[in-house]
Amino acid sequence: MKQKALYILVLAALILSACGGLAGGGGQPSVVRIGWASGPDSLNIGVAWLASAYTISELTYSSMYEFKLDGTLGLDLGTKETASADGLVYTYKIRDGVKFHDGQPLTAKDVAFTYNLVMAHEDFPTLHSYVEHFVSVEAPDASTVVITLDQPIPNIASKLVFLYILPEHIWKDHSEDDAAAAYENLEMIGSGPFKMLEYKPNEFIRLGVNKDYYGAVPKVDEVIFQVFSSSDVLIQALKTGQVDMITSVPNTSVETLKSAENVKVVTGAPLSPDLEDIIFNMVDPANCPTADGGLCTGHPALRDKQVRLAMAYATDKNKIIEIVKLGLATPGIALIPSGMGEWFNIEVKDFEYDPAKGNQLLDEAGYKDANGDGIRDMPDGSRPLTFRMNWPSSDNEAPRIAELLSEMWRELGITLEMQAVESDALTSKCCPALDYDLMIWGWVADPDPNSLLIVPTTDQIPTGYNETGYSNPRYDELFAAQGAELDKDKRIKMAWEMQQLVHDDVAYIIPYYPYAVQAYRTDRFTGWLDTETKLALEDPSSLTIIEPVK
Amino acid sequence: MSIQTVEIKPIIPSASKNFWQTYRQSRLGIAGLILLLAILLTAIFAPLLAPYDPKSSEGVGAGQVYNAPSAAHWFGTDDAGRDVFSNFIYGARVSLIVGFFASFISVFIGGTIGIVAGYYGGRTENILMRFTDTMLVIPDLPLIVVIVALTRPSLLNIIFVIGIFGWTTTARMVRSQTLAVKSRKFVLRARAIGAGRAHIIRHHILPLVMPILVVQAVLVVSVAVLNESTLSFLGLGDPTALSWGQMLNYAFARGAMSTGAWWALVAPGIGIIWVVLGLILVGQGLEQVLNPRLNTHHLMPSRPTIKSEAAARSGEQVLLEVRNLSINYINEGQAPACAVEDVSFTLKEGELIGLVGESGCGKTTLMLGLLKLLPNAGQIVNGQVYFKNKEITTLSDDEVNKVRWRGISIVFQGAMNALNPVRTVGDQIAETIIKHLPDFDSAKIPARVTELLDLVGIAAEHKEQYPHQYSGGMRQRAMIAMALACNPEVVIADEPTTALDVMIQAQILELLDQLRKKLGLAIIFVTHDLGVVAEMCDRVLVMYGGVTAEYAAVDTIYNTPLHPYTQELLKAFPDLTKPKKKLSSIPGYPPRLDDLPAGCRFAPRCPAVFDRCRTEQPALHELAGELHVVSCHLVEAIK
Amino acid sequence: MNRWTYIRNKAIWSLFTIIFVVVLNFFLFRVLPGDPARQGIRDPRLTPEAIEAIRIRFGLDKPVINCIQTINPFRAGSCEINPLDTQFFIYVKNLLRGELGISFYYNRPVSEILGERLWNTILLIGGGQILSIIVGVVFGILSAWKARTPLDYGVLVTGLVAWSLPTFWLGIILLFWGSTHGFPIGGKATPGMSSYPFFAQLTDMLWHLLLPTLTYTIVFMGEYMLIMRSSLLDVLSEDYILTAKAKGLSTFQILKDHALKNGMLPLVTIIAINLGFTVGGVIQIESVFSWPGLGGALFEAVSRRDFPMLQGGFLLIAISVILANFLADLMYSYLDPRVQTE
């Protein structure tokens, strides 16, 4: 392969000459290079889906509130929040002298414009849900914003935190009808600590420091987010020093990275906590929503709480965490992840792993192995306890979980037929067809618990989020009440009770809440915030304070 | 994958009992078979061979992830702490199952379409082959990816999707084979006696198409195995079936390489390479059996001439003198075949010598030997060739190139294949002038080419045409024009008229004779037909089984032939001057050169054979008086 | 049949194939419902109204096609519907205007995204093809010329092994070898290079291109070597090579003037037909090396279920391959004079 060697040689010479040319260019700017697995889907936050789009928005925009790493929300652009006694009118004072990246001033008019824009656009799928009860937003003067609601909501801060303030002078030309959703917003003019310098979709994003930022001006000159196609490559990039920080580390690589030189691996709760859940189809064919296309083929045994309870007892969550997550997760209880701080009910006591107890429960409930094939049958002997188990094929941890569950539940005399399903098909299988027995799927949380608490409510049954068909009047009652409760402590109490209910009824088995795992190079920048409750090194909280290692 | 696109020409398989013998000769084929058998056995006996059950999580945990190879885990452990070796063994099952079933589907579809298109012909064929061609250019992997992405990623789906997109090449090959088979006699006969189409396809066509299906099946398996691994790598595999591709997917997605766990990537990769290589090699082996390549490779150097003591020369002033020339074919592991043995003759300026004998008597070998054009296996083992008193058998390639065409040129038989199909005839003629006559004014070359073509009666406008645009006779004449391009002194015409119709034969012969007279050429005219040369030759050399049977002036040969073979040849030749003569052909065939009879080579067919002939090879007897050499025991008496 | 008739027939056939692909491409993606609103991760913020708004935005609320009832029971069209207001018609209309729909994921016109990436892929395929053809042809010729020598066996074994290599696997191995030997770990350019002079940017890009191209070259050279070798072996046993030898031409002249062109003919066809397979290889190489090209786009679209992107990408690839085949046919008709009499 002489040719190859020659090729490399020639290129190396070219590179060297190029580097020589670059070195003469003067003072080195401090550039933080961050590697991640996928860039934002869109710079137009109205239509963006991905967390990475929100990450970039956090850095380039400001919003009324900031989302802190302890899970609480604090005023950011706003300086004062006043609520009317009936909880229907909120008045905000905002900072003076804030400027957009293009030098234009940011006033209350821009805030009102942004909120009205989102209210007018149903085709801003995620953002629009945050303005659900908004009636009007006005800016009586340059520093005052008044929001009027149609019902009191307990969590306005969590609604406003993601409504990044867009410059009216730019967006007003792109606000009508389809134009807003179609606007690519490549300049991404905002008022955050960083401004957009260069965007190569799916390659990299370069952000420069905003020297006019009203808060602490970042100490670095540039932040580069670079996309790497796989996590393996990502880690290699960190190890070889091609990037300074990576936003995710596969669990399997944690051990090696820990032993790598000048690399620190950190874990914590994710900024947006998520969970993996095992879903039971509990819909009785008698109540089947056939009008919506319901098939309701769920196994009858799963409608029996004793069976679900037995399965819960036979589920060794620690083993699942140990094998699938390599210990980097906490056992789950209900639909509110522990990373949600005060909303998470720490008092719920999980079913202790005890397969014998599970077997005993099944024996008591009359599920015997009638034909001696090692698999329990329905009490009437009509069919064996063989359940279909599905999961979205894009989830590469689910098959591992399924295998483990299959093994654990075999001890109960329950067998699984496992099948990955394309997530789109799984959605139709789930709801409204209800054509499954068990599923492994996941949810990702909003800062406010409402979005996850709504899942098992009766209203959501055929076409909403309630995949299980779980229906508990007490739960529904609590859900309605917490949605209008302005006293946070009372609301927390309600949320806790709701978690207890779902847990006791075994509507789900939640194997775990995963940790966020990130890593950075210690020889490049210092000051990363890695000891907070939540871990997000790509958050402005870290990027505005880190400085180069001297 | 495009291994399917390598065209296999329609073939008629050799008898199946020779199958193994032929296959064995393909070293690569054997290697492939060993590779494949090993992995097949591994897959079949997976539960016995695998030290761990890949589905079990026994002993798996945080400390077990990506452990390096050890006594407990030969290939280390994977991202979930499982034994890579066991996964590798079970993975073979999945990969092979996908490969074989997908291949079965492909070959079934391709075979059906090919046979139907080939057999029914007409509009059916047109539609089917258009469809096949359309499918052939649609990129299959992206299409497979798209379809698998849209459907459920189950093993069955993957098999099916890979299967239904891999058939196009099979269809094309089977069709051409069916076309070739359809026109064969026994199929025509079966149709004539009214056998049903289904019957004919099943009993007459299918058996002959089968070999192609088998080769295709083997190659498509390799494509399917690769495609499955690619799908798995792209995250579209069946996550419950741990194939090699799936192992790679997990390893790549879950940080094997950055962890330094090369084993998790290398083991399944080797598995894929192993199987695919094995399959391709077996495919090559099979192809060698079914479609044996001729072993003539014209650029392989022939074996070096064995120098021999030069015999005393006649001393006559001759242009070309061949002295005791012997040529052997040497194939490894076989006895040398004596193609030419102890042949001598001379040629003077303007003379025409006829070299006569049946096919396989060594005539062509002798001619090729003269110019050192022997194939790789050929070797001059004795004798000399003098061209203008210069020994040429021992010349180097560069030196002999100066003699070729400039001194001695050849008109090959079967000029269709002897002319390069992708270059114009004029160009091919001009090429020789440029090569051998460097002083020739290049501006005058086109005129010279026209002149040469004119000489052989081809109009100038054909100069820029390609050989396929010529008729058979024109091609042969163009070949003669080319042979004359550098004003050679000797032209060897190697059966220039075979495969031409009688009229054209006569034209060409006349042309050669005219040219000889006009240009003063010496010609060696090689033919199996004694009659053809009767009128033009000065002398005739009759060859049989590689040796000189009789060598004499043409009148002597015709009037007083002494060798029984010459006599028999003459009987086979209608003499128009003597009506009512009974024509006869000689029963039997010339001997195989690697299996010559112990005595006289003509003995088995000789009408005058006697005991001595069978044991003792006759010497070359030179008769007194005029030139007359005969190798026959009978001649001793006359002598 | 003269050359023009031949070319015309090939052109008609290519056009027919393109139409076939266009129609296939449409229905392939309509037979199974793909919805931008249905993502792998469920997001509780998505309300049914929001989903409907998205459906309208992507034109999925319209009937698939006029009169055909069976394609998708949920979105069937009856004959009373205006045929111009069906998804199929809009798809064809947009195609004619060079529009390939809007990416679910990027929320940008697919044609724009693919347009940006097309050049990167052409760069990769172009470089890789040229290198693999050169290496393949040179070693194929050497191997055929020096048949049955150690060189020949070396080429044969190398070719066969290269042929058996899974592309992505080789890519991974090279990537990690490269990452510890100073090569960039993927991507097309070092971020921030845009402010440097053109020449520095160019070298930076070539540096990034090196390993992907090498992977491509190794994977494809094997096949070209073997095909060149086998085709040249066929040619070298032809009578006209013996003629050329008898004409006193040197070995080099024979190879150059008589064997090469003839031996290259099958390669031309194979290279063209191969383009389809090449694209498969490019998907793998680009996703391993994070190379922002078409193949990578297709791979991302698959994992994100971005159907308009997948559809557009597939169409673009298929049409490119069909056109490449057409070009190969044209080239063939010039290279091989016999084509006209076929």
Domain tally, chain A: 3
All chains having 3 or more CB pairs closer than 8 angstroms to chain B = A, C
Q: What is the pLDDT of residue A22?
A: 40
* Residue A329's CATH number: 3.10.105.10
Which of A253, A319, A394 faces B258 most closely, judged by CB atoms? A253
Among the three residues A136, A157, A182, which one is the final residue of a domain in this structure?
A182
Q: What is the pLDDT of residue A232?
A: 80
The helix/strand/coil state of C318 is helix
Pinpoint the residues of chain B covered by CATH 1.10.3720.10: 25-60+74-290
Instruction: Determine, yes or no, domain membership for A268.
Output: no
Inspect the interface and report whether the beta carbons of C305 and A422 lie closer than 8 Å.
yes
| Higher-pLDDT residue of A34, B262 | A34
* C163 interfacial to chain B (CB closer than 8 Å): yes
Instruction: Determine, yes or no, domain membership for C101.
Output: no
Q: Looking at residue B345, what DSSP letter applies? A: E
Instruction: Point out the least confidently predicted range of A133-137, A286-290, C12-16.
Output: A286-290
Q: What is the pLDDT of residue B623?
A: 82
Q: What is the pLDDT of residue C37?
A: 47
Which of C238, C274, C341 faces B2 most closely, judged by CB atoms? C274
Whether C47 and C138 share a structural domain: no
How is domain B25-60+74-290 classified at the architecture level of CATH?
A: Orthogonal Bundle (1.10)
Which of B152, B249, B254 faces A250 most closely, judged by CB atoms? B254
Local confidence band at B1 (pLDDT 50, 70, 90 cut-offs) = very low
Inspect the interface and report whether the beta carbons of C107 and A47 lie closer than 8 Å.
yes
Q: What is the pLDDT of residue B314?
A: 62
Q: Is the model's pLDDT at C340 over the cut of 70? A: no
Q: Supply the mean pLDDT for chain A.
A: 87
> B–C: how many Cβ contacts below 8 A?
245
Q: Is the model's pLDDT at B638 over the cut of 70? A: no
DSSP helix, strand, coil percent of chain C (3-state; round to 5): 75, 0, 25
* C9 interfacial to chain B (CB closer than 8 Å): no
CA distance B556 to B552: 6
The helix/strand/coil state of C90 is helix
Per residue in B497-516, pLDDT (tens digit) is 766 677 777 777 888 888 88
Q: What is the pLDDT of residue C75?
A: 42
Local confidence band at C31 (pLDDT 50, 70, 90 cut-offs) = low
Instruction: Determine, yes or no, domain membership for A300.
Output: yes
Pull the structure tokens for residue B93. 């099952």
Which of B55, B57, B256 faces A232 most closely, judged by CB atoms? B256
**Contact present, B384 and C299 (Cβ < 8 Å):** no
**Contact present, B526 and B494 (Cβ < 8 Å):** yes
Picking from C29, C30, C45, C180 by the largest number of A CB atoms within 10 A of its own CB, the best residue to mutate is C45
Per residue in B61-101, pLDDT (tens digit) is 556 777 888 888 888 888 777 888 888 999 999 999 999 99
Pull the structure tokens for residue A230. 């796989």
Distance from CA of B62 to the nearest CA of A (A): 5
Per residue in B144-203, pLDDT (tens digit) is 877 877 776 678 888 998 898 888 888 988 888 888 777 777 777 777 777 777 888 888
Local confidence band at C98 (pLDDT 50, 70, 90 cut-offs) = confident
Instruction: Determine, yes or no, domain membership for C254.
Output: yes
Q: Supply the mean pLDDT for chain C.
A: 80
Q: Is the model's pLDDT at B4 over the cut of 50? A: no
Distance from CA of B409 to the nearest CA of C (A): 7
Instruction: Determine, yes or no, domain membership for A269.
Output: no
Whether A359 and A468 share a structural domain: yes
Q: What is the pLDDT of residue C39?
A: 45
Q: Supply the mean pLDDT for chain B.
A: 82
Q: What is the pLDDT of residue A450?
A: 86
Q: Is the model's pLDDT at B207 over the cut of 90? A: no
Q: Is the model's pLDDT at A185 over the cut of 70? A: yes
Q: What is the pLDDT of residue B192?
A: 76
Closest to B56 in 3D by CA, of A406, A311, A512? A406
Helices (H), B201-335: 206-233, 244-253, 256-259, 262-290
Closest to A33 in 3D by CA, of A206, A186, A216? A206
Among the three residues C96, C127, C151, which one is the final residue of a domain in this structure?
C96
Whether A540 and A468 share a structural domain: no
Which of chain B's residues have a Cβ under 8 Å away from the Cβ of C237?
Answer: 293-298
Q: Is the model's pLDDT at C71 over the cut of 60? A: no
Domain boundaries, position A380: 274-514
Q: Could you tell me the CATH superfamily of domain B318-638?
A: P-loop containing nucleotide triphosphate hydrolases (3.40.50.300)
CA distance A90 to A104: 26
In one-letter notation, the amino acid at residue A250 is P
Per residue in A392-420, pLDDT (tens digit) is 877 778 888 998 899 899 999 999 988 87
Whether C92 and C224 share a structural domain: no
CA distance C70 to C81: 15
Per residue in B362-403, pLDDT (tens digit) is 888 898 888 888 888 888 888 889 988 888 888 888 888 888
Which of chain A's residues have a Cβ under 8 Å away from the Cβ of B253?
Answer: 230-232, 250, 396
pLDDT, mean of residues A284-308: 87
**Contact present, A310 and A359 (Cβ < 8 Å):** yes
Which of C180, C200, C287 faces A22 most closely, judged by CB atoms? C200
Whether C92 and C124 share a structural domain: no
B605 CA to centre of own chain: 32
Which of chain C's residues have a Cβ under 8 Å away from the Cβ of A129?
Answer: 45-47, 50
Which of B146, B258, B280 faces C314 most closely, judged by CB atoms? B146
CA distance B222 to B273: 9
Per residue in B330-354, pLDDT (tens digit) is 877 677 788 888 898 888 888 889 9
Inspect the interface and report whether the beta carbons of C41 and A226 lie closer than 8 Å.
no
- Spell C246-280 as b/e; 16+ CB within 10 A means b: bbbbeeebbbebbbebbbbbbbbbbbbbbbbbbbb
Q: Is the model's pLDDT at C211 over the cut of 90? A: yes
Whether A453 and A540 share a structural domain: no
Local confidence band at B18 (pLDDT 50, 70, 90 cut-offs) = low
CA distance A37 to B331: 62
**Contact present, B633 and B613 (Cβ < 8 Å):** yes
Inspect the interface and report whether the beta carbons of B80 and A400 lie closer than 8 Å.
yes
Local confidence band at A391 (pLDDT 50, 70, 90 cut-offs) = confident
pLDDT, mean of residues A530-549: 89
A197 CA to centre of own chain: 27
Instruction: Point out the least confidently predicted range of A4-13, A316-325, B576-585, C231-240.
Output: A4-13
pLDDT, mean of residues B554-574: 83
Q: What is the pLDDT of residue A17?
A: 41
Q: What is the pLDDT of residue A498?
A: 95
Whether C138 and C244 share a structural domain: yes
Whether C172 and C281 share a structural domain: yes
Inspect the interface and report whether the beta carbons of C292 and A200 lie closer than 8 Å.
yes
Q: Is the model's pLDDT at C323 over the cut of 50? A: yes
CA distance A278 to A387: 13
Whether A120 and A86 share a structural domain: yes
A263 CA to centre of own chain: 26
Q: Is the model's pLDDT at A524 over the cut of 70? A: yes
pLDDT, mean of residues C64-72: 53
Which span out of A40-54, B12-26, B28-42, C50-64 was modeled with the highest average pLDDT?
B28-42
Which of chain C's residues have a Cβ under 8 Å away from the Cβ of B411?
Answer: none
Q: Looking at residue B373, what DSSP letter applies? A: -
> First vs last Cα of chain C: how many Å apart?
8
Residue B312 bridge partners (DSSP) = none
Distance from CA of A18 to the nearest CA of B (A): 29
Domain tally, chain C: 2
Inspect the interface and report whether the beta carbons of B55 and A396 lie closer than 8 Å.
no
Distance from CA of B151 to the nearest CA of A (A): 7
Whether A368 and A414 share a structural domain: yes
Whether C84 and C180 share a structural domain: no
Whether C92 and C166 share a structural domain: no
With residue B356 as reference, give the H or E element that holds it: strand B352-356
Whether A178 and A93 share a structural domain: yes
* C338 interfacial to chain B (CB closer than 8 Å): yes
Closest to A214 in 3D by CA, of A91, A112, A105, A108? A105
Per residue in B98-118, pLDDT (tens digit) is 999 999 999 999 999 999 998
Which of chain C's residues have a Cβ under 8 Å away from the Cβ of B294?
Answer: 237
With residue B455 as reference, give the H or E element that holds it: helix B445-455
Q: What is the pLDDT of residue A106?
A: 94
Sign of CA dihedral A101, A106, A111, A113: negative
Instruction: Determine, yes or no, domain membership for A187.
Output: no
Q: Is the model's pLDDT at C47 over the cut of 80? A: no
* Residue A237's CATH number: 3.40.190.10
Instruction: Determine, yes or no, domain membership for C289.
Output: yes
State percent of chain C over pLDDT 70: 83
**Contact present, B311 and B324 (Cβ < 8 Å):** yes
Q: Is the model's pLDDT at B23 over the cut of 90? A: no
In one-letter notation, the amino acid at residue B530 is L
Please name the residues in contact with A120: beta carbons below 8 A apart, sequence gap of 6 or more: A175
Q: Is the model's pLDDT at A118 over the cut of 50? A: yes
Whether C218 and C304 share a structural domain: yes
Inspect the interface and report whether the beta carbons of B254 and A404 lie closer than 8 Å.
no
Among the three residues C96, C128, C156, which one is the final residue of a domain in this structure?
C96
Instruction: Determine, yes or no, domain membership for C102.
Output: no
Distances (CA, A) of C337 to B234, B383, B432, C49, C255: 44, 44, 22, 65, 19
Domain boundaries, position C50: 3-96
Inspect the interface and report whether the beta carbons of C47 and A129 lie closer than 8 Å.
yes
Instruction: Point out the least confidently predicted range of A492-506, B153-167, C164-178, C298-312.
Output: C298-312
Q: Is the model's pLDDT at C217 over the cut of 90? A: yes
* C304 interfacial to chain B (CB closer than 8 Å): no
Pull the structure tokens for residue A483. 């949605």
pTM: 0.79
Which of chain B's residues have a Cβ under 8 Å away from the Cβ of A320?
Answer: none
